[in-house]
Structure 1
Amino acid sequence: MSTREPLAFVLRRSGARWALGLAIVIALAGHALGRYDIRFVDSLDAMIYDAKVRLFMPRTTDSRIAILDVDEKSLAELGRWPWDRARMAELVSALFSRERIAVLGFDMVFAEPDASSGLAVLDGLARGALADNAAYRQALERLAPRLDYDQRFADALAGHPVVLGYYFSNQDVSSGAIPAPLMREGAFGAHPFTLFDWTSYGGNLPALQQATQRAGYFNPVIDFDGSVRRVPLITAHQDGVYGALSLEVIRALFGDASVTPLFGDPTDPAAPLEGLALATPRGTRVIPVDDNGAALVPYRGIAGSFPYYSIADVLAQRIPARALAGKIVLIGTTAPGLMDQRTTPVGEVYPGVEVNANLIGGMLDGTIRFAPRFAARLQAFALALAGVAMIFLWPWRAPARATLLVAILFGAIVAADLFAFGRLGWSQPLASLLLAVLALYVLNMSYGYFVEARAKRHFAALFGQYVPPELVEEMSRHPEDYSMAGRRAELTVLFCDVLGFTAIAETLEPEALARLMNEYLGTMTEVIRAHRGTLDKYIGDAIMGFWGAPVDDPDHARHAVAAALGMRAALVELNRTLTARGWPTLSIGIGINTGPMTVGDMGSSVRKAYTVMGDAVNVAARLEGLTRRFDIDIIVGEATREQAPEIVFREIDRVRVKGRIAPIAVFEPQPQHEHADALARWHAALAHYRAREWDEAETLLATLAAQYPERQVYAIYRRRIDALRGVALPEDWDCVSAFDTK
């Protein structure tokens, strides 16, 4: 805000814009702080997050984790799914004994008993029709262990690092068995957290769960748009806390490593949950999670970022030797009809088993990104900082500059966020801040266009007929500095008149005369406006203009003289056009004077005009009249000459004009066709004349007249010398020429 602007005016002009801007910032800050949700902002944040994930994902294959696939090839060779548990037992045994894998995880549930062997039917016969057949019962006892496929599968699982899968739900009834909880909810103490809580579960057969003692749920977090960006690594059921499949696989890899919650400040019972501390033989690993216990999935790339092997090929030993040795192996499905498909930031159809694989890889590498606990406050602070700058400090009146600054700010915000995401692993919302910058830009540009344009239109209505558009634009930037009220100021005024206009008017038809004058006045007016002049009025064929108001112009004298010289040059071109039409050519006389005068809107209630008045204005009009006496097209006053030192002038005379007692010196801008030596001889002749040295002055004037016969001023002074020779002049003769007519 300029110190020249009264506070009341600033509030009247910008208060509404400030209020709207603050409303935008406050609304977005409330969303950033979690006071409420704005779905559009959430959607934009999700899109930005997905774009950053795709930008920074390494797009490499993680060979530490292999996926055994229940694919179409396996179904074709091994039959429809689910396969009998004897085959699953064979697969588990092959993986640990032959392939030497490190850990096996099942991204599936074995919830129902396997009746494919027919053991249940045989048992029914033993208890019924063949109950008295001892041989049958003995044979059945021998065959039962081989036909109990579930037990064979359980025996294969026992003693190996196997993690079964299960799921939580909010149904009325639970089924199957799940492992013991990782910890009790009391382990969190009074620290704030909001774990997902479930009422029921779908687990595995108790015999299978008992055989391995390990299992992990595979419930992801489905965001509002259906995409999987997070997976809760811990969740709540009743009073226990359970681990996700991916976390349990990591625990199994490190010998059933213990897990404890990690808080921002362990001594502060109000500190938020920051991560999970996993105790491993190589030290503690910290896995960052949010207040829901969820971790962001560190996607490596599109589907297929891990080596896939068909289960049929594994069982048939068609995979390379030691291809699975030492690897974490996950068993999942991709066959049509069985496929566990998810929508993710890196693909609309993405295997659910790969979601877990990405989490396992991220926990191994420590590349799981997280939102720092100060993210909300940081975003709110950035919103406040950017908002204050853009609302109160931004140069909105300079649209190009404002747009450049907004582009720089926008780019800086994006660059900082990309650095934090890519190098620091911070994932924080960005949409609120970007929306604030864009919204404030649109608001202020629109406000400037629709509201401040009204002020420009007002100024154009007031001053547009007097001053050029660029000055109206300049004035509209600080409208409080301008008014049409009368004021006193030092300005420069110009009068221009057509010489012999009456005679010209008598030679032309009215229509032709009107066309001629329109072209003449239009041409001269454009020159005045091009030199920052204010058009005062047309007086018949005369033009009146002034410089220095309504826009201050410290070079008003120089601009006025430059305009006069431009009018002289423009007249030459205009006369060529008039001659081509057969019309008479024009000659003009221009008088210019600088001095104090009153400027403002003057007139009556019927009609007013923005004009200048004062003695200096009258002198300028008299100087224009002198152009006829000296046959010179431009004459300026002494004050004008003093304020335009860059222009070369020649003094013409000292005169006393009508209505003014004090004499003034008058000057002519040096004609371009005269040389410097001619100017020096003229000034020398003028000095001799004023010293009454008639012969010396006469000699110099004769030389100048011979060189420039068209210059009548030399002949005028020679006639004066002839008249003064032999006249007894008083001692106080002041060499002043008096002119009693306008």
Structure 2
Amino acid sequence: MKRIKTGCAGFLIATGIFLLFLLLKETTAIFDRWELKVLDTHFKLKTLTTSRKIKEGVEVRAQNPNISPDILIIGIDFRTLSDIGRWPFDRSVHAKLVSRFARIRDQQQRERAVFLDIFFVEPQEEAFNDALLVKSIEENGRVFLDTVLELNPPPPAYEEVLHRRQETLFEEYGLITRIEGDWESIPAFYGLQPPLIPYGKAAKGYGHANFVEDYDKVFRRQPLIAKQSRLVRLIPLPELTTDFSIDRSKFERLAWVDTEGREHPIPYPLTEEILQKLQVEMEKKAPPKEIDLDGDGTIDGEFFVVRYYRDYFLPAITLSLALEYMHKRPSDVEVVLGEYIRIPDPQKYNPKTGEWEPYTIVARPAETDENGRIVKPAEEKTIHELRIPIDEWGNMIINYMGPPSSSDGYQTFPVRPYVGYVKGALPEDPSKGPRAIAPNKIIMVGPFAKGMAADEKPTPLGLMYGVEIHANALNTILMSQFIVPIPWWADIVFLLGIIYFIAFLSSRKSILLSAILTVLFLLVLFLAITVAFDLSGVLVPFSSTGTAGLFTFFAIVVYRVMTEERDKRRIREMFSKYVSPRVVDQLIDMESLPELGGVDKELTVFFSDIRGFTTLSETMTPQELVNHLNEYLTVMTDIILDLEGTLDKYVGDEIMCFWGAPIPQEDHALRACICAIRQMKALEELNAKWPPEKRLNIGIGINSGIMTVGNMGSPGRMNYTLMGDNVNLGARLEGTNKTYMTNIIISEYTYSLVKDKVIVRELDNIRVKGKNKPVLIYELIDVRDDS
């Protein structure tokens, strides 16, 4: 019964914990933040490369097959700064680098793109340096530049200039326009730092360089599309009517700002109800604005103003580079917010044939022997469309492939010093240049030395230069190594399953065993989640499920401790008067309480009584009699308890006890017989030290059979005792000793259970009072091999 009750309680506790954690997941960010730390642990546990020593000091390292071989970082490192001089370099130096890649003999062996992670937002003092770099960018024809987006709008004096620079990039390369979903809710950038117009016109493409900083200042995500909002004009609230029109196909929207600077979207199309509600809300929360309607320099009044925006959706520089690598443009991209960015029919350039081919990635890396020779070629998988998972704001989780690289140490991605590409004279004639430098590679040029423009950023694997963060994000796309969180419904089912499993475990096993099993289960679960993350990029939440599992375990343990301690006290109070401490301990350790209130069981009952007690009492004072009787009862009771019998009661000088309850005992009849023999021996020892007038003689009756055992009495006063004909027979046998001048009589029922283990003398076949059927009785003489 106790197990069923504990199981039900465990189910109720698990249900409550599930509802609590579901509420916490929906209303707080605590588990989202913890999950970021779990994600960091996944990254740190990933297996990146394997290495093998082939001779002392020489080590062969197998490149991670999940890293694209076509990503190359050219780092402006300490060696470069030492050779060239102070940063920033003259732009003529960058021009030499860009031209170096363009002037090779076989143009089919050229790089796919050159990304300059360097900002050209203001001209240099020497204009010819800018002219040289712009010319080299035009000559190369494959250079990509980045633009920086900012939250705050630019100063009014620079606003038009900056937007014109950005429009140049739009005109040359394009925008992302195929967007489905709630694009208005994407966080907006109002400021921007695009490259100078000549650079924008000369570049092959562009992209924003922004990353998303999480609450702990660590960079784990990149917005593959970012919303740059331009204020078209301010509209006085009274002028806003149901006839007001905006072009949603051009991503135009309306919004208002409260006194705390928070922006609130205005639903469209406008209705009278929307306008009335807007009026009330702005009167409560919006600051009025002084406005000059006619532009004469005189303030015409204060109005609540509505902001009329036009939004532009810019690709991340990594997305632009990936599109270039796959022979696509931003106009080809389809975006479904909260789901994916779709790149249809991607292709891959083959520098050996000079042809664009269907896009493939390595599904299984090549196998090599001990000497590094390929024994089994790599298996490739063709990608017919690439779907990049994004959240509702267009962010992709970056799948970091390894720890930060060093230009002269460990390298997750190959890093080459910048200075190696700008030294020496450039060939004026491409036919005299090198045959190939980086066929079909995406070259990413950026700072790679400490202290350069604060370009080091914290990542899950440590401080990393911005250009390498871009490389990890680009690799995530090129190699289809996406991190995909499981759907929300699967998260809920997973949480529910873990909670109920641990509740089931904790309710049915001992506390120590359930604690060990719970810890082992959660450890194995975490390792399984890590393996799933490493092998397939599936991100299964562990912080909420692991915490909920531990919480469930502790909650059920607290419940069990409270209820079991209560039950232990009840058992101890109830049975300590009847049975030995060992039996009480066994009762406490049982998984279920003994059934109380009356139950039929096969037991053995034992009655003993002093012969001639009345005569003895007449020769002693009451105090002497009590002391003498207590000495006798103490010795007899100790023997009963030592054999784990249950003491029922004392009736004057009579003792009633039994075996087989509350603890089941298969040998209950034998225990009773052993007790009788030991008591007779103990009585001999007592009589030997007592004077003749105080010596005792006792009679013992033992019977076995089905009896009713349980708590008898009233709710206020109970006694754990026996009832039934077989109990009465045992009492009759005790009195029968007087007739046969014996000390111990057992019934045929008891004898049948112990006949191979006792020595008896058959006495008679008698009919006792209250019994119609005769009963065969035996005198118990001894027990065989009794210790």
| 2:357 match | 282
Over residues 473-511 of structure 1, what are the superposed CA-to-partner deviations in whole Å (9 max), with x where a residue is unaligned?
3677358x434xx677664312356899999x99xx999
Out of 637, 657, 667, the residue aligned to residue 778 of structure 2 is 667
**Superposition pairs for residues 342-741 of structure 1, below 5 Å?**
342-347=457-462, 349-372=463-486, 375-388=487-500, 395-396=507-508, 398-399=510-511, 402-403=514-515, 406=518, 410=522, 413-414=525-526, 416-467=528-579, 468-470=583-585, 472-473=587-588, 477=592, 481-483=595-597, 491-496=603-608, 520-521=635-636, 523-529=638-644, 533-538=645-650, 543-550=655-662, 553=664, 558-565=667-674, 568=677, 590-595=700-705, 599-601=709-711, 609-613=719-723, 615-624=725-734, 635-642=745-752, 650=760, 652-654=762-764, 656=766, 663-667=774-778, 671=782
Given the superposition, is the C-alpha separation of residues 216 and 548 from structure 1 closer, same or farther in structure 2, using an over 3 Å criterion? same
1:155 aligns with 2:145: no
CA offsets 1:160-182 (integer angstroms, 9 cap, x no match): 31111221111111547342287
Letter in 1 for 2:668: H
Secondary structure of the 2:217 match is coil
Secondary structure at the counterpart of residue 538 of structure 2: coil
Among 297, 311, 327, the alignment partner of 2:418 is: 311
Pick the aligned partner of 2:72 from 47, 62, 66: 66
Q: Is the 8 A contact 2:176 2:315 kept in 1?
A: no
Cα distance, 1:16 vs. partner?
A: 6.7
Match of 2:18 among 11, 15, 25: 25
Q: 1:510 to 1:495 in 2, by over 3 A?
A: closer
Residues in 1 aligned to 2:714 and 2:144: alpha-carbon distance in whole angstroms: 98
Shift in Å at residue 422 of structure 1? 3.1
Q: Secondary structure at the match of 2:484?
A: coil
Shift of 1:538: 4.7
Using the TM superposition, give the Cα deviation of residue 449 of structure 1 relative to its aligned residue in structure 2, in angstroms: 0.7
CA separation of 1:537/1:68 partners in 2, compared to 1, >3 Å: closer, same or farther? same
Once the 2 structures are TM-superposed, how far is the Cα of residue 85 of structure 1 from its aligned partner?
0.9
- 1:46 aligned residue: 36
Q: How does 1:291-330 map to 2 (within 5 A)?
A: 291=391, 292-304=393-405, 305-316=412-423, 325-326=438-439, 327-330=441-444
- Distance, in Å, in 1 between the alignment partners of 2:761 and 2:10 is 57
What do the CA deviations read for 1:451-489 (whole angstroms, capped 9, x no partner)?
A: 34323322332234334225533677358x434xx6776
What's the secondary structure of 1:445's corresponding residue?
A: helix
Residue identity opposite 1:44 in structure 2: W
* Contact 2:121-2:195 at 8 Å conserved across structures: yes
Structure 1 residues 459 and 201, CA, compared in 2 at 3 Å: closer, same or farther? Answer: same
Q: Could you tell me the TM-score, scaled by structure 1's length?
A: 0.69
For 1:20 and 1:44, the matched residues in 2 are separated by 24
1:368 deviation in Å?
2.2
Q: Secondary structure at the match of 2:124?
A: coil
Choose from 439, 442, 450 the match for 1:336: 450
- State the SS of the aligned residue for 1:295: strand
What's the CA shift for 1:295?
2.0
Equivalent residue number for residue 142 of structure 1: none
8 Å Cα contact 2:99/2:139 also seen in 1: no
- Verify the 8 A CA contact 1:589 1:625 in the aligned structure 2: yes
Conserved? CA contact 1:92–1:156, under 8 Å: yes
Higher strand content, 1 or 2: 2
Report the more deviating stretch, 664-673 or 279-288: 664-673
Deviation at 1:434, TM superposition (A): 2.4
Q: Deviations over 1:282-322 (max 9, x none)?
A: 3345142222322222212111112323323433369xx99
* Residue-by-residue CA offset, 1:571-626 (whole Å, 9 max, x unaligned): 9899999999xxx9999865321356564545689965333355533432443466
Give the share of equivalent positions with the same residue, in percent: 25
Give deviations 1:201-255, integer Å, cap 9, x for gaps.
Answer: 1111111121114122221121222222221222222333211122222233344
Distance 2:506 2:174 in 1: 55
| Partner residue, 1:222 | 213
Q: Give the aligned partner of residue 113 of structure 1.
A: 123
Distance 1:47 1:366 in 2: 23
State the match for 1:208 in structure 2.
199
Per-residue deviation, 1:46: 1.9
| RMSD over equivalenced CA pairs, Å | 4.7
How far apart, CA to CA, are the structure 2 residues paired with 1:623 and 1:86? Answer: 121
Query: Larger deviation: 431-440 or 591-600?
Result: 591-600
Structure 2 letter corresponding to 1:559: H
Partner of 1:127: none
Aligned length: 614
Q: Which has the higher helix share?
A: 1
Opposite residue 226 of structure 2, the aligned amino acid is T
Matches within 5 A, 1:159-174: 159-160=139-140, 161-173=142-154
2:777 is matched by which residue type in structure 1? V
CA distance in 2, matches of 1:395, 1:515: 46
Residue 618 and residue 37 in structure 1: after superposition, are their counterparts in 2 closer, same or farther (change >3 A)? same
Q: Which residue pairs with 2:249 in the alignment?
A: none
- The one-letter amino acid of 1:200's match is G
Q: In structure 2, how many angstroms separate the alpha carbons of the residues matched to 1:341 and 1:80?
A: 18
Equivalent position SS for 2:554 = helix
In 2, Cα distance between the equivalents of 1:640 and 1:27? 60
Tell me if structure 2 keeps the 8 A contact 1:475–1:482.
Answer: no
**1:23-65 Cα shifts (integer Å, max 9, x gaps):** 2202323455xx33341x2233222222222222424475533
Tell me how far 1:447 sits from its aligned partner: 0.6
Greater relative contact order, per chain length (Cα 8 Å cut-off, separation 6+)? 2
Paired amino acid for 1:273: Y
Are 2:38 and 2:542, in contact at CA under 8 Å, matched by a contact in 1?
yes
CA distance in 2, matches of 1:646, 1:402: 44
1:97 lines up with 2:103 in the alignment: yes
Give the Cα separation in 1 of the matches to 2:698 and 2:84: 109
Q: Distance in 1 between matches of 2:112 and 2:685?
A: 100
Q: Deviation digits for residues 416-454 of structure 1, max 9, x if unmatched?
A: 534532333312323222233222221111111123432
Cα 1:478–1:240 shift into 2, 3 Å = farther
Instruction: State the distance in 1 between where 2:123 and 2:478 align.
Output: 35
Once residues 20 and 300 of structure 1 are traced to their aligned partners in structure 2, the CA distance between those partners, rounded to angstroms, is: 42
Per-residue CA deviations over 1:306-342 (Å, capped at 9, x if unaligned) read 2323323433369xx9995333322222323224222
CA distance in 1, matches of 2:217, 2:701: 81
- Gapped regions of structure 1 (runs ≥ 5): 118-146, 265-269, 676-742
- Structure-2 separation of matches of 1:209 and 1:76: 31
The answer to which of 510-519 and 154-163 deviates more is 510-519
The Cα of 1:105 is off from its aligned counterpart by: 1.3
Q: Measure the CA separation in 2 of the matches of 1:184 and 1:334.
A: 30
Q: For the residues of structure 2 that align with 1:573 and 1:106, how far apart are their CA atoms?
A: 103
Q: Is residue 51 of structure 2 the alignment partner of residue 37 of structure 1?
A: no
Decide whether the 8 Å contact of 1:528 with 1:535 is kept in 2. no
Give the superposition deviation at 1:279.
Answer: 3.0
